[in-house]
């Protein structure tokens, strides 16, 4: 059952979160991108590359960047990164959303999305909110659809390994739609769980 755990705290990322963010990002790719990225890259290179990218993002952030982390009882368990007004057509991108495997299904991703929606509404309310997700990442697609996102386009990701991977662009439209989608997604899941218990 997915619940918003009151013990999950969402806060701005700090430099001392760097290795946690890079490692979770790398681990998420190892778990979900095996069909797209080479074993050599995933085993030997992905962490160093992610660490370099997040070092830049946290030491010299762009003016339209937001990075938030989730903590459960003081322990890092996920993060989200947005770039406000990033695309002239699609708007504000949720560039990354990753939750530790042990914390999935507990509301952490929903809390991060809710915080993202609040920030986007306050700072980029005239821009839609979107993200890019690999075509084969069905768990992520299901999560975003349950939160109200709609597939609006197909694109291709030029991977660090030099190949191309098909991806979908999912959009919520205006930021307040993301906020509503998070609430509705949680309500639907609770309803389904209760129905299963009754049956």
- Residue at 56 is within a domain: yes
- Residue at 176 is within a domain: yes
For residue 185, the model assigns a pLDDT of 73
pLDDT at 166 over 90: yes
- Residue at 62 is within a domain: yes
State the pTM of this model. Answer: 0.90
- Tell me the pLDDT tens digit for each residue of 18-56: 999 999 999 999 999 999 999 999 999 999 999 999 999
Residue 23: give its domain's CATH number: 3.40.630.30
- Residue at 127 is within a domain: yes
* CA proximity to 165, closest of 129, 130, 137, 143: 137
- Residue at 164 is within a domain: yes
Task: Give the chain's domain count.
Answer: 1
- Residue at 181 is within a domain: yes
- Residue at 3 is within a domain: no
User: Residue 189 is part of which domain span?
Assistant: 8-198
For residue 3, the model assigns a pLDDT of 45
Spatial distance between the Cα atoms of 157 and 151, rounded to a whole number of angstroms = 16
pLDDT band of residue 183 (cuts 50, 70, 90) is: confident
- Residue at 36 is within a domain: yes
- Tell me the pLDDT tens digit for each residue of 47-81: 999 999 999 999 999 999 999 999 998 999 999 99
């Amino acid at each position: 059952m997915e619940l918003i755990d009151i013990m999950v705290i969402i806060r701005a990322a700090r430099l001392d979160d760097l290795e946690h963010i890079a490692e979770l990002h790398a681990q998420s790719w190892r778990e979900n991108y095996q069909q797209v990225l080479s074993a050599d890259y995933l085993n030997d290179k992905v962490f160093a590359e992610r660490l370099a990218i997040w070092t830049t993002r946290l030491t010299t952030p762009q003016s339209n960047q937001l990075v938030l982390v989730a903590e459960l009882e003081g322990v890092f368990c996920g993060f989200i990164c947005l770039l406000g007004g990033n695309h002239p057509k699609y708007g504000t991108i949720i560039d990354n959303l990753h939750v530790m495997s042990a914390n999935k299904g507990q509301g952490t991703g929903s809390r991060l999305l809710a915080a993202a929606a609040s920030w986007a509404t306050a700072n980029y309310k005239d821009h839609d909110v979107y993200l890019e997700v690999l075509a084969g990442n069905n768990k992520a697609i299901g999560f975003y659809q349950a939160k109200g996102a709609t597939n609006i386009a197909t694109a291709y990701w030029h991977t660090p390994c030099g190949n191309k991977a098909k991806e979908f662009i999912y959009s919520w439209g205006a930021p307040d739609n993301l906020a509503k989608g998070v609430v509705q997604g949680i309500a639907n899941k609770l309803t389904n769980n209760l129905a299963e218990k009754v049956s």
